[in-house]
Amino acid sequence: MTNTEATLLAAIIGGVIGIVGTYSGAILIANRDRRIDAGRRLREAFQDELASLEVLPIPGEGDAFDMLNGAFKKHLIATSEFARLVSRCKRNSFNQAWQDYHCYPKPPFPHFLEQYDTRTGSIEQRKKNRELAIQRVKHILSFTE
């Protein structure tokens, strides 16, 4: 192989490596941007309810269950979108946090936001239910950081 052929071959190989590297980098950046956007939408979906929970009077008007149940559809949509983009190493933990938030803790795991009832029971139980809701929402949102 002549010097010119070797130089040409090296240029071709270098070009291919550059194209593959640039393409791979662009894909990684695009996926990261999609994950960041989905995380922002997830935080926005829970924002009003979390703010209300943190200032919800106990005892008083405003039930955490009613509030969260009324917003469940938007939470489900944002969570479903974000779950597809969570890194593989965090996906099981995220899905478990979501299940803890909206399911009864024993099989068959039906939808169960009643665990956040802040209208009935003792004042201590109401506070405990509200704090549980706040803790679980924050746990879900911690995956967006």
- Amino acid in position 80: S
Strand, helix or coil for residue 53: helix
Q: How much is the pLDDT for 69? A: 95
Evaluate whether 64 touches 133 at the Cβ level (below 8 Å).
yes
Residues with Cβ < 8 Å from 11, sequence gap 6 or more?
none
Which residues of the chain have a pLDDT value below 70? 56-61
Per the listing, tokens 């829970």 go with: 46
> What domains are defined for the chain?
38-144 (1.20.120)
Distance of CA 5 to the CA centre of its chain: 53
Q: How much is the pLDDT for 5? A: 86
CA distance 49 to 69: 10
pLDDT one-digit tens code per residue, 79-119: 999 999 999 999 999 999 999 999 998 888 899 999 999 88
Dihedral, 66, 67, 68, 71 alpha carbons, nearest 10: 110
Q: How much is the pLDDT for 47? A: 96
CA distance 143 to 57: 28
Show the tokens assigned to 97: 């946090």
